[in-house]
Amino acid sequence: MARSKNQVIKEGWGSRPNFQHSHGLKMSEHVPTASLVPVVAPEDIEEGNLILDAYMRQDDYNDDPNASHSQNSGEAQGGSGGAAKTANTGRSGARN
């Protein structure tokens, strides 16, 4: 069962302010107003939500027993390396 954003935050960072701060994001902005009440920083909250979504997708991917986790493993480990191995074969018959 997928965890909620609140569960992910609580388990990983303890609180939303801790999560936001750990990613260099603000919860609120202090703007000069007569009431001195902090104003929510909607762009930072939205960016935090995007980061959480990415974490949750990765968790779902890692937890899926049916997922093929080796799709790109060849590229990451050097794999066939076709492009890398043939990159220097464009010589015009010159020898060193």
Query: Domain map of the chain by residue range?
Result: 1-64
What is the predicted pLDDT for the residue at 61? 81
Residue 36 has pLDDT above 50, yes or no: yes
What is the predicted pLDDT for the residue at 86? 42
Cα angle value 42/17/60 (rounded, 5°): 85
Compute the average pLDDT of residues 25-36. 76
Compute the average pLDDT of residues 67-89. 49
Strand partners, 40: 28
Name which of 13, 25, 23 is nearest 5 in CA terms. Answer: 13
pLDDT of 8-22, one tens digit each? 999 999 999 999 999
